[in-house]
Structure 1
């Protein structure tokens, strides 16, 4: 796959990235064999960007990803993880984690965006993964911690970057406004934007995407299926949108988009993966994967042709915003193998 560089750094990402949250048993268990097979399938398909976090399965995702990559040449892949949630012993375990992962709760998460917390978190991640360095480190969901994240955590990450300990630094969130602040007010190189530039939500056009374009910074798009509603050819009632059951009106809108996709010879999931590349600041789309079968499907969707005329009709029908950029051909050619 083609690579695109995070501006002003030496870090390059493949157009499609491997999201590691399912390796941490997100919503349900993923077997160790399936996790390994998924990573091996991604590697065979040319994926070289792998994202994880301590939050994902209380360290399980990091351990599994590190073990599967350990025999690969370190210079040939890029790993990102996150800081902000320290894993500490749980003095009062109840048996199972309560934050969406099917794992035991022997550990618990503790919010910490202090300099010391950043250093401790990175050290623990490296130990869990068996690595000597991370290529990208993101602040993880600092929504309620702006001051400490901006004044303590980000300067600490920037110092590590300037020392060559990490390659690039940034923040990852489910909102776009604060990500724009990180780009404009802190030494951020790249942001991970979850769900705010998709076929159902283009709110990032109001803040973070213009900021990234103006400053020459990179954006990694995640959550492009909006928790599942855009993941099937024909959405149905009861599917999730942003981690909750989608409202009926939103399901109807997704169905209308799907009908236009069908008329143009493509599918809703293929369009969902292709859409973020419409904006020149987006350098990567990362998708969560838990099996070799899911990897094969997502790689095929990533490579599938999506005609330019689709976007024009979606705009004309008011199904996407009229100010979505139009230079799809250039962006699509940059992501194809």
Structure 2
């Protein structure tokens, strides 16, 4: 699995539409640059991301293995909505995502994903968006539905060789800890919860993964954008570039903390985005860092950030300023 992974939500028309050609160009640029891990989901563009990724990968002739992860937990059902933007996706197919963590729901979702991806096997299969953040008061029932049904389906798919590894894809490390108390999982895709901005996952969750032999893919390294844009630019101050954190407008406390981190990066002439992309990869349990990519330019910029030299003194300064958790490993 490549250290930098390709998050394929943007090629599902996340926030704005892309053409098939633009999506294909982004995937091809990633392949040409050595990226070999691609993450998608039925939810991303209501099948559009999987379809475009499958079509692009079907054209490749790379010799190294390409690793693909997708997700279960939602079924796509017909929609009559005429809205151009739904659930954050623009001009998507006339389908609506419907939560279903049951045995049959997971099996149906997986079969549909194989067709869209033009594959007979998926390397990593993840149960998508379990947890109270998504389901609120319905979380206990959804979690029970998954452990009694969907988890069994995923285990059978793994035993049959149709899936290599199973896990959860979520924004909450707490639900991953809970899942490990009830089942065996190979790993997790954790979005936004172990970043340059927040490292609470290193207290109990990541050590538990080490004890259980579970790897972690880190999604959302920019915390929905604020660690990519920073908070100090003129366009930001004027409001031309909005500040997003955790999929919403950033609160002032987050803005202030990012400003402190950004000041340290400026002191060492290091782009904030480079530090944000490299920091999570220093933890031994994290096997890949996913960046959402929509174009060749974004692929190349992410590679530059991932390979930007960063002096150890920068990380030490962040720790001295109490901007990093004491238990968080720093890049060598």
TM-score (norm 1): 0.89
Aligned pairs (5 A) from 1:226-305: 226-232=223-229, 234-235=231-232, 236=236, 238-305=242-309
Of 108, 111, 114, 1:120 maps to 108
Q: What does residue 83 of structure 1 align with?
A: 72
Aligned pairs (5 A) from 1:15-30: 15-30=3-18
Q: What does residue 209 of structure 1 align with?
A: 206
Does residue 60 of structure 1 match 2:57? no
| Conservation of the 8 A alpha-carbon contact between 2:68 and 2:124 | yes
Aligned pairs (5 A) from 1:92-131: 92-104=80-92, 106-131=94-119
Does residue 33 of structure 1 match 2:15? no
| Conservation of the 8 A alpha-carbon contact between 1:17 and 1:50 | yes
| Conservation of the 8 A alpha-carbon contact between 1:58 and 1:103 | no
Q: What does residue 6 of structure 1 align with?
A: none
| Conservation of the 8 A alpha-carbon contact between 2:218 and 2:280 | yes
| Conservation of the 8 A alpha-carbon contact between 1:154 and 1:187 | no
Q: Give the Å deviation of 1:283.
A: 0.6
SS at structure 2 position matched to 1:54: coil
CA distance in 2 between counterparts of 1:23 and 1:295 reads 12
Q: Give the Å deviation of 1:185.
A: 2.6
| Conservation of the 8 A alpha-carbon contact between 1:24 and 1:60 | yes
Does residue 179 of structure 1 match 2:167? no
Of 305, 311, 314, 1:310 maps to 314
Farther-moved stretch of structure 1 (156-165 vs 234-243):
234-243
SS at structure 2 position matched to 1:287: strand
CA distance in 2 between counterparts of 1:81 and 1:103 reads 21
Of 39, 42, 47, 2:35 maps to 47
Structure 1 unaligned spans of 5+ = 1-12, 330-337
SS at structure 2 position matched to 1:76: coil
Q: What does residue 151 of structure 1 align with?
A: 148
CA RMSD in angstroms, aligned pairs only: 1.6
| Conservation of the 8 A alpha-carbon contact between 1:174 and 1:193 | yes
TM-score (norm 2): 0.91
CA distance in 2 between counterparts of 1:118 and 1:295 reads 32
Q: What is the aligned residue count?
A: 315
Q: Give the Å deviation of 1:246.
A: 0.8
Q: What does residue 334 of structure 1 align with?
A: none
CA distance in 1 between counterparts of 2:245 and 2:179 reads 26
User: How big is each residue's C-alpha offset from its partner over 1:252-294, in whole Å with a ceiling of 9 and x where there is no partner?
Assistant: 2112111111222311100001111221111110110000000
SS at structure 1 position matched to 2:258: helix
